[in-house]
């Protein structure tokens, strides 16, 4: 499977399905066509459905029907990638250059290497079915558009408009498989069991209008929104005491005093390159990202607003978020209107499911001495739609022990994004071994 998978990955990168959130971007039809062609030799043994909510924004659902002796298994891959700053790249971002055991290009890590792997494993199951070896469960590979813009024209659209088109019961997607190496060399390999939610907010304030030449005794909206931003920046959300957070910190094998400092949120620096990640997964995070006020330089604006990218932990509600904001604003809160924008609760899947145990068995086969460590992702993935449909979903891949969680996070949306070919091979092996044990 490996040479074909690498060739498919190169083509997916070269198709440059860049999603910049603007209408008509993405054009995932190019990758959808490439993937459909990849299945040409088994087209009578797979069912392929195309969904196109807007021109060019194509998702595929590829199904290999099983005998129903085993539960269904579904791979959720996405085919869009984020934009690039070409001037900052030392290799062309869409040439899929292979050099020194790596493939360079936008999307090689996020997440086209997984999408290509999922396609290859699904085709192998279809080929075996063509030879009379029918899978016990139905296998689906879903190549989704628009994941980078939160799935409105991809997984979210399918879940809302054609929910029965996808078997949501047992789903695998991005990304997982990287490692935390403890102070004594102990290896922990990551599986993402959940992800933070979204609680975007727009905070509005008003002030006195007037001519810029006469500011005397005015209630200045700009000054007020600046104070709002300052107070929000000093908000102190509570640190979680969850089993997942404790397990993550324990994987580093710090001395007891340092471990307690990290757990309490007073020494994220001890996490090194994962300090920002640790901060993100230990609490509600609030990032001021957009500030607006005024139009003309000689006019005092009567309205200003601040937009916040807020990410919630599992169990935190939208009302909890507003309570944190109101507390941070203090007496200023009565002068601020809180508007809710995109709101999606955090999602998490159990670690006692049949699929999670299959993942554990697969990873232990590749890394016998490692601990399989459940974690939540600070960002979002299409797995949240599987969980919302009542299914379980896990971020699953396999990287060499040298590839730490910090290193892999650094590749996401970065300049000169690259994947080690060794990790492509390991991930293909992991997906095939899990699928083989599940289906045969």
Q: What CATH number should be reported for the domain holding residue 218?
A: 3.30.70.360
Q: Is residue 187 part of a domain?
A: no
Q: For residue 173, give the 3-state DSSP assignment.
A: strand
Q: Indicate the residue among 283, 310, 344 that finishes a domain.
A: 344
Closest CA to 174 of 313, 380, 404: 380
- Provide the mean pLDDT of the chain: 96
Mean pLDDT calculated for residue range 380-398? 96
The vertex-103 CA angle with 102 and 107, nearest 5°, equals 135
CA-CA distance, 338 to 305, in Å (whole number)? 10
Rounded to a whole number, what is the largest CA-CA distance in the chain?
A: 85
Q: Is residue 16 part of a domain?
A: yes
- Report pLDDT digits (tens) over 3-47: 899 999 999 999 999 999 998 999 999 999 999 999 999 989 999
CA-CA distance, 276 to 377, in Å (whole number)? 12
> Can you give the pLDDT at residue 307?
98
Share of the chain above pLDDT 90, in %: 96
Indicate whether 166 and 218 sit together in one domain.
no
Indicate whether 32 and 174 sit together in one domain.
yes
Tokens of 174: 């991005």
> Can you give the pLDDT at residue 27?
98
CA-CA distance, 96 to 98, in Å (whole number)? 6
Indicate whether 327 and 358 sit together in one domain.
no
Q: Is residue 234 part of a domain?
A: yes
Contact 81, 27 (CB under 8 A): no
Run of H or E residues at 402: none
Indicate whether 210 and 252 sit together in one domain.
yes
Number of structural domains in the chain: 2
- Report pLDDT digits (tens) over 76-86: 999 999 999 99
Indicate whether 157 and 296 sit together in one domain.
no
Indicate whether 49 and 103 sit together in one domain.
yes
**What are the residues facing 50 on neighbouring strands?**
60
Q: Which residue has the tokens 């600070």?
A: 378
CA-CA distance, 421 to 3, in Å (whole number)? 11
pLDDT at 246 over 80: yes
Reported confidence tier of residue 413, pLDDT bands at 50, 70, 90: confident
pLDDT at 332 over 80: yes
Mean pLDDT calculated for residue range 341-366? 97
Q: Indicate the residue among 321, 344, 367 that finishes a domain.
A: 344
Q: Is residue 17 part of a domain?
A: yes
**216 alpha carbon, distance to own chain's centre:** 50
- Report pLDDT digits (tens) over 268-320: 999 999 999 999 999 999 999 999 999 999 999 999 999 999 999 999 999 99
Q: Indicate the residue among 344, 360, 392 that finishes a domain.
A: 344
Indicate whether 207 and 294 sit together in one domain.
yes
Q: Is residue 154 part of a domain?
A: yes
Q: Is residue 189 part of a domain?
A: no
Domain that holds residue 100: 2-182+352-439
- Report pLDDT digits (tens) over 8-19: 999 999 999 999
Tokens of 14: 């070269």
Indicate whether 230 and 368 sit together in one domain.
no
Indicate whether 162 and 254 sit together in one domain.
no
User: pTM here?
Assistant: 0.93
> Can you give the pLDDT at residue 405?
93
> Can you give the pLDDT at residue 409?
83
**400 alpha carbon, distance to own chain's centre:** 21
Mean pLDDT calculated for residue range 334-339? 98
Indicate whether 148 and 61 sit together in one domain.
yes
Q: Bigger pLDDT: 408 or 9?
A: 9
- Report pLDDT digits (tens) over 151-174: 999 999 999 999 999 999 999 999
Indicate whether 370 and 317 sit together in one domain.
no
Q: Is residue 215 part of a domain?
A: yes
CATH number at residue 76: 3.40.630.10
Run of H or E residues at 27: none
Indicate whether 52 and 81 sit together in one domain.
yes
Q: Is residue 227 part of a domain?
A: yes
pLDDT at 89 over 90: yes
């Amino acid at each position: 499977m490996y040479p074909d998978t690498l060739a498919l990955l190169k083509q997916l990168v070269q198709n440059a399905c860049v999603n910049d959130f603007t209408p008509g971007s993405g054009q995932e039809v190019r990758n959808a066509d490439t993937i459909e062609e990849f299945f040409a030799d088994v087209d009578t043994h797979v069912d392929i459905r195309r969904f196109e909510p807007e021109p060019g924004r194509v998702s595929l659902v590829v199904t290999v029907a099983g005998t129903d002796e085993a539960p269904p298994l579904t791979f959720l891959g996405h085919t869009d990638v984020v934009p690039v700053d070409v001037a900052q790249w030392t290799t062309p971002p869409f040439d899929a250059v292979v050099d020194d055991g790596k493939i360079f290009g936008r999307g090689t890590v996020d997440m086209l290497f997984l999408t290509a792997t999922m396609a290859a494993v699904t085709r192998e199951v279809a080929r075996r079915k063509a030879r009379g070896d029918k899978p016990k469960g139905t296998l689906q590979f879903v190549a989704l558009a628009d994941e980078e813009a939160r799935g409105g024209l991809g997984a979210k659209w399918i879940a809302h408009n054609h929910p029965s088109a996808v078997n949501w019961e047992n789903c695998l997607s991005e990304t997982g498989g990287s490692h935390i190496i403890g102070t004594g060399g102990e290896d922990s390999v990551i599986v993402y069991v959940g992800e933070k939610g979204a609680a975007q907010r727009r905070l509005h304030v008003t002030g006195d209008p007037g001519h810029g030449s006469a500011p005397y005794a005015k209630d200045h909206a700009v000054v007020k929104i600046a104070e709002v931003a300052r107070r929000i920046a000093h908000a102190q959300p509570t640190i979680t005491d969850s089993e997942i957070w404790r397990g993550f910190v324990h994987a580093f094998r710090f001395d007891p005093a340092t471990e307690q400092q990290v757990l309490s949120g007073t020494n994220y620096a001890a996490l090194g390159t994962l300090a920002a990640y640790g901060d993100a997964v230990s609490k509600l995070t609030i990032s001021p990202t957009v500030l607006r006020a005024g139009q003309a330089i000689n006019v005092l604006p009567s309205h200003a607003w601040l937009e916040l990218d807020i990410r919630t932990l599992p169990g935190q509600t939208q009302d909890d978020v507003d309570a944190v904001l109101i507390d941070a604003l203090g007496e200023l809160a009565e002068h601020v209107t809180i508007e809710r924008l995109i709101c999606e609760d955090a999602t998490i899947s159990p670690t006692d499911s049949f699929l999670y145990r299959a993942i554990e068995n697969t990873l232990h086969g590749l890394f016998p001495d490692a601990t399989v460590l459940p974690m939540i992702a600070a960002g979002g993935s299409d797995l949240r739609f599987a969980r919302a449909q009542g299914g379980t979903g896990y971020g699953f891949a396999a990287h060499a022990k040298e590839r730490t969680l910090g290193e892999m996070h650094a590749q996401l949306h970065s300049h000169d994004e690259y994947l080690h070919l060794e990790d492509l091979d390991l991930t293909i092996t992991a997906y095939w071994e899990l699928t083989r044990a599940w289906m045969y």
